[in-house]
Amino acid sequence: MPTRRIPSSGEALPVIGLGTWRGFDFAPGSASYARLPGVLDALFAAGGSVIDSSPMYGLAERTVGELLSARRPRPEAFLATKVWTAGREAGIRQMDESFRLLQTDRIDLMQIHNLLDWQTHLSTLRQMKAAGRIRYIGVTHYSPAAYDEMESVLRRTPLDFLQINYALDDREAEKRLLPLARERGVAVICNTPFGGGGLLRRLSSLPMPGWASEAGARTWAQLALKFLLVNPAVTCIIPGTGNPQYMAENAAAASGPPLSARQVRELLALV
């Protein structure tokens, strides 16, 4: 899989990863849980490594930890999760629980979710990074109403990562946040790349563009992901799924030539 550099370190990161919201919130013994090892197989087989989770995703952290630890040797996944609570001690407790559930002594990326009490948690995260417990520090948000605050944080605070919504039909981040992240040397993780699902439902009623195969795309989902990769500020995209076939298809979007300016214009005209 192609990679892009994390600006703060130069480390290469595969451009397609895995989001675990909903798709990994299942208990052992269920049919949905039984499919999840295949999702990880597809991710790793394609050369991917990024797995993003959160304490707010139900059983997802526990599930990721169980499935990774069941493999021998344990895969070298790039583990990202979040802290979303107020207060220093509450944040430490929540993050300690994430380490326990993910069954790891080191988390690659810890993100302050929705900027909740971000100044308090940032101090803790810097201490954890210095101690080697985490490797990178990031912030996230989903609401354009918070983008002014996010811009302010990016301008005055050294960070490694920004995680933000970005999709063909959700391009508010293009206006200021993505250019600013590139200017400030902050890696960008894109979530909800299919617009929460509504985008693909709308596009599925349309014929695929005649040039899709030339771009190495067989599905609308792949075209939607390839659109995001046109933006040089984007480091990694984390479509969520609990389906091995979809994981393989998502990962395949990283291959083939990039979309041309004409192809991008045609895609945007459809949404």
The predicted-structure confidence for 122-151, as pLDDT tens digits, reads as follows: 999 999 999 999 999 999 998 999 999 999
What is the residue type of 165? N
- Across the beta sheet with 134-141, the strand order is 18-19, 50-52, 78-83, 107-112, 134-141, 161-165, 187-191, 234-237
pTM value is 0.97
User: Any idea what the CATH number is for the domain that residue 149 is in?
Assistant: 3.20.20.100
Q: Does residue 163 register a pLDDT over 90?
A: yes
Domain count, the chain: 1
Backbone dihedral region of 192: left (phi > 0), alpha (psi from -120 to 50 degrees) or beta? left
Q: Give the span between the Cα atoms of 26 and 9, in whole angstroms.
A: 35
3-state DSSP of 166-215: CECCECHHHCCHHHHHHHHCCEEEEECCCHHHHHHHHHCCCCCCCCCHHH
Q: Give the span between the Cα atoms of 190 and 250, in whole angstroms.
A: 13
Q: Does residue 234 register a pLDDT over 90?
A: yes
| Residue span of the structural domain in which 37 resides | 3-269
Q: Does residue 197 register a pLDDT over 90?
A: no
Say if residues 23 and 38 touch (Cβ distance below 8 Å). no
Burial call 47-72: b when 16+ CB within 10 Å, e when fewer: ebbbbbbbbebbbbbbbbbbbbeeee
**198 confidence band (pLDDT: 50, 70, 90):** confident
